[in-house]
Protein backbone atom coordinates (compact mmCIF):
# COMPACT_ATOMS: atom_id res chain seq x y z
CA UNK A 1 0.00 0.00 0.00
CA UNK A 2 1.02 3.57 -0.43
CA UNK A 3 3.68 4.85 1.95
CA UNK A 4 6.43 7.43 2.08
CA UNK A 5 8.30 5.39 -0.53
CA UNK A 6 5.42 4.27 -2.75
CA UNK A 7 2.86 6.04 -4.88
CA UNK A 8 0.82 3.00 -5.87
CA UNK A 9 -2.39 1.62 -4.41
CA UNK A 10 -4.65 -1.40 -4.99
CA UNK A 11 -8.31 -1.67 -5.97
CA UNK A 12 -10.44 -4.74 -6.60
CA UNK A 13 -10.63 -5.78 -10.24
CA UNK A 14 -14.27 -6.90 -10.21
CA UNK A 15 -17.35 -6.68 -8.00
CA UNK A 16 -18.03 -10.17 -6.68
CA UNK A 17 -20.33 -12.34 -4.55
CA UNK A 18 -19.71 -15.42 -2.40
CA UNK A 19 -21.70 -17.42 0.16
CA UNK A 20 -20.92 -19.56 3.17
CA UNK A 21 -22.92 -21.31 5.90
CA UNK A 22 -22.02 -21.58 9.57
CA UNK A 23 -24.21 -23.68 11.87
CA UNK A 24 -27.36 -22.84 9.96
CA UNK A 25 -26.68 -19.16 9.39
CA UNK A 26 -26.10 -18.05 5.81
CA UNK A 27 -23.57 -15.31 5.06
CA UNK A 28 -23.74 -13.70 1.60
CA UNK A 29 -20.73 -11.48 0.90
CA UNK A 30 -20.48 -8.75 -1.71
CA UNK A 31 -17.59 -6.56 -2.84
CA UNK A 32 -18.04 -3.26 -4.68
CA UNK A 33 -15.55 -0.86 -6.21
CA UNK A 34 -16.57 2.55 -4.80
CA UNK A 35 -15.22 6.11 -4.82
CA UNK A 36 -17.81 8.09 -2.84
CA UNK A 37 -20.16 7.97 0.14
CA UNK A 38 -23.09 8.11 -2.31
CA UNK A 39 -21.96 4.91 -4.05
CA UNK A 40 -21.56 3.19 -0.67
CA UNK A 41 -25.06 4.17 0.46
CA UNK A 42 -26.56 3.11 -2.87
CA UNK A 43 -24.97 -0.36 -2.78
CA UNK A 44 -25.99 -1.02 0.82
CA UNK A 45 -29.55 0.13 0.16
CA UNK A 46 -29.75 -2.07 -2.95
CA UNK A 47 -28.79 -5.13 -0.90
CA UNK A 48 -31.40 -4.27 1.75
CA UNK A 49 -34.00 -4.18 -1.01
CA UNK A 50 -32.70 -7.42 -2.51
CA UNK A 51 -32.70 -9.23 0.87
CA UNK A 52 -35.47 -7.48 2.84
CA UNK A 53 -35.83 -10.32 5.36
CA UNK A 54 -32.13 -10.69 6.24
CA UNK A 55 -31.04 -10.42 9.89
CA UNK A 56 -28.01 -8.13 9.41
CA UNK A 57 -26.20 -6.11 6.73
CA UNK A 58 -22.70 -5.69 8.15
CA UNK A 59 -20.08 -3.84 6.19
CA UNK A 60 -16.75 -2.04 6.03
CA UNK A 61 -15.21 0.26 3.48
CA UNK A 62 -11.99 2.11 2.71
CA UNK A 63 -11.78 5.16 0.45
CA UNK A 64 -8.89 7.26 -0.82
CA UNK A 65 -5.61 6.57 -2.59
CA UNK A 66 -3.90 6.63 0.81
CA UNK A 67 -6.72 4.71 2.60
CA UNK A 68 -7.72 7.98 4.28
CA UNK A 69 -11.36 7.07 5.02
CA UNK A 70 -12.15 3.81 6.85
CA UNK A 71 -15.33 2.65 8.54
CA UNK A 72 -16.83 -0.56 9.91
CA UNK A 73 -20.46 -1.21 10.89
CA UNK A 74 -21.76 -4.16 12.95
CA UNK A 75 -25.45 -3.47 12.15
CA UNK A 76 -26.72 -4.87 15.43
CA UNK A 77 -24.25 -7.72 15.86
CA UNK A 78 -22.13 -7.60 19.07
CA UNK A 79 -19.64 -4.74 18.96
CA UNK A 80 -16.50 -5.61 17.00
CA UNK A 81 -17.78 -9.00 15.86
CA UNK A 82 -18.70 -8.16 12.24
CA UNK A 83 -17.56 -4.82 10.81
CA UNK A 84 -14.02 -5.00 12.17
CA UNK A 85 -13.29 -8.50 10.82
CA UNK A 86 -14.52 -7.31 7.43
CA UNK A 87 -12.30 -4.23 7.65
CA UNK A 88 -9.30 -6.35 8.67
CA UNK A 89 -9.82 -8.52 5.58
CA UNK A 90 -9.73 -5.42 3.37
CA UNK A 91 -6.61 -4.09 5.12
CA UNK A 92 -4.85 -7.46 4.91
CA UNK A 93 -5.14 -7.31 1.12
CA UNK A 94 -3.95 -3.67 1.10
CA UNK A 95 -7.02 -2.50 -0.80
CA UNK A 96 -8.79 0.83 -1.06
CA UNK A 97 -11.86 2.27 -2.79
CA UNK A 98 -13.77 -0.85 -1.83
CA UNK A 99 -16.94 -1.71 0.08
CA UNK A 100 -17.60 -5.20 1.46
CA UNK A 101 -21.08 -6.05 2.73
CA UNK A 102 -21.91 -9.36 4.41
CA UNK A 103 -25.64 -10.14 4.54
CA UNK A 104 -26.58 -12.61 7.28
CA UNK A 105 -29.60 -14.84 7.59
CA UNK A 106 -29.77 -16.13 11.17
CA UNK A 107 -30.01 -19.89 11.32
CA UNK A 108 -31.30 -20.31 14.86
CA UNK A 109 -27.99 -21.18 16.53
CA UNK A 110 -25.97 -18.50 18.32
CA UNK A 111 -22.39 -18.45 17.06
CA UNK A 112 -20.86 -16.43 19.89
CA UNK A 113 -18.47 -13.58 19.31
CA UNK A 114 -15.52 -15.77 18.21
CA UNK A 115 -17.81 -17.57 15.76
CA UNK A 116 -19.14 -14.31 14.37
CA UNK A 117 -15.64 -12.86 13.97
CA UNK A 118 -14.61 -15.97 12.07
CA UNK A 119 -17.71 -16.09 9.85
CA UNK A 120 -17.69 -12.42 8.89
CA UNK A 121 -13.93 -12.40 8.38
CA UNK A 122 -14.02 -15.54 6.23
CA UNK A 123 -16.92 -14.15 4.21
CA UNK A 124 -15.01 -10.95 3.48
CA UNK A 125 -11.81 -12.83 2.60
CA UNK A 126 -13.62 -15.15 0.21
CA UNK A 127 -15.32 -12.38 -1.74
CA UNK A 128 -12.13 -10.30 -1.93
CA UNK A 129 -10.15 -13.30 -3.17
CA UNK A 130 -12.71 -13.71 -5.94
CA UNK A 131 -12.65 -9.98 -6.75
CA UNK A 132 -9.01 -9.91 -7.82
CA UNK A 133 -6.61 -7.01 -7.34
CA UNK A 134 -5.29 -4.34 -9.66
CA UNK A 135 -2.46 -1.91 -8.91
CA UNK A 136 -2.98 1.77 -9.68
CA UNK A 137 -0.78 4.85 -9.46
CA UNK A 138 -1.48 7.79 -7.17
CA UNK A 139 -1.86 10.99 -9.16
CA UNK A 140 -2.14 14.73 -8.61
CA UNK A 141 -4.26 16.81 -10.97
CA UNK A 142 -3.19 20.10 -12.53
CA UNK A 143 -4.71 22.65 -14.84
CA UNK A 144 -2.29 23.86 -17.49
CA UNK A 145 -3.09 26.73 -19.86
CA UNK A 146 -1.35 28.44 -22.74
CA UNK A 147 -2.04 30.51 -25.83
CA UNK A 148 -3.28 28.50 -28.81
CA UNK A 149 -0.06 28.92 -30.71
CA UNK A 150 1.86 27.42 -27.75
CA UNK A 151 -0.24 24.27 -27.35
CA UNK A 152 2.66 22.09 -28.46
CA UNK A 153 4.64 23.44 -25.51
CA UNK A 154 2.17 21.67 -23.20
CA UNK A 155 2.82 18.38 -24.97
CA UNK A 156 6.56 18.98 -24.77
CA UNK A 157 6.24 19.67 -21.03
CA UNK A 158 4.21 16.50 -20.43
CA UNK A 159 6.36 14.14 -22.50
CA UNK A 160 8.91 13.12 -19.79
CA UNK A 161 6.18 12.26 -17.26
CA UNK A 162 3.58 9.57 -16.63
CA UNK A 163 0.29 11.39 -17.16
CA UNK A 164 -3.37 11.17 -18.14
CA UNK A 165 -5.22 13.97 -19.90
CA UNK A 166 -8.57 14.23 -18.08
CA UNK A 167 -10.02 17.10 -20.09
CA UNK A 168 -9.14 19.91 -22.47
CA UNK A 169 -10.97 23.11 -23.31
CA UNK A 170 -10.56 25.79 -25.95
CA UNK A 171 -11.81 29.28 -25.09
CA UNK A 172 -9.65 32.37 -25.42
CA UNK A 173 -6.78 29.98 -24.62
CA UNK A 174 -6.17 26.24 -24.46
CA UNK A 175 -6.51 24.54 -21.07
CA UNK A 176 -5.59 20.96 -20.20
CA UNK A 177 -6.56 19.11 -17.04
CA UNK A 178 -3.84 16.54 -16.48
CA UNK A 179 -3.08 13.95 -13.80
CA UNK A 180 0.61 13.37 -13.02
CA UNK A 181 2.11 10.48 -11.09
CA UNK A 182 2.58 11.62 -7.49
CA UNK A 183 6.27 10.73 -7.33
CA UNK A 184 6.88 12.97 -10.38
CA UNK A 185 4.77 15.89 -9.16
CA UNK A 186 7.64 17.94 -7.76
CA UNK A 187 9.61 17.76 -11.00
CA UNK A 188 6.48 18.53 -13.01
CA UNK A 189 5.70 21.61 -10.89
CA UNK A 190 9.24 22.83 -11.41
CA UNK A 191 8.79 22.48 -15.16
CA UNK A 192 5.46 24.29 -15.01
CA UNK A 193 6.91 27.24 -13.14
CA UNK A 194 9.82 27.48 -15.52
CA UNK A 195 7.38 27.52 -18.44
CA UNK A 196 5.04 30.02 -16.75
CA UNK A 197 2.16 27.63 -17.38
CA UNK A 198 1.00 26.87 -13.86
CA UNK A 199 -2.57 28.16 -13.51
CA UNK A 200 -3.89 26.13 -10.59
CA UNK A 201 -3.49 22.83 -8.84
CA UNK A 202 -6.14 20.57 -7.42
CA UNK A 203 -5.86 17.14 -5.85
Q: What is the mean pLDDT of residues 130-159?
A: 90
Q: Where are the domains of the chain?
A: 8-136, 138-202
For residue 123, CA distances in Å to 31, 38, 43, 138, 178 come to 10, 24, 17, 29, 39
Q: Hey, do 8-136 and 138-202 end up sharing a CATH topology, with the first three levels equal?
A: no
pLDDT digits (tens, 9 = 90+) for 184-200: 999 998 888 877 544 44
Global pTM exceeds 0.85: no
CATH-assigned architecture of domain 138-202: 2-Layer Sandwich (3.30)
CA distance 57 to 34: 17
Report pLDDT for 192.
Answer: 83
In the chain, which ranges are E strands? 8-12, 16-22, 25-33, 56-63, 69-73, 98-105, 133-137, 139-146, 163-170, 174-181, 198-202
Mean pLDDT of the chain: 91
pLDDT digits (tens, 9 = 90+) for 101-125: 999 999 888 899 999 999 999 999 9
Strand, helix or coil for residue 58: strand
CATH H-level, domain 8-136: superfamily: Impact, N-terminal domain (3.30.230.30)
CA distance 104 to 86: 13
Amino acid sequence: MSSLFSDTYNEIENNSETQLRERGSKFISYSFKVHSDEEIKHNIQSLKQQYPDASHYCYAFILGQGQEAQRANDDGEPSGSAGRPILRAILSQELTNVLVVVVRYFGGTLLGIPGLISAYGDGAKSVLNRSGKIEKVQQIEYEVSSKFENEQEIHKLLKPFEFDIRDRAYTNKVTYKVAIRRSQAEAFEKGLKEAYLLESQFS
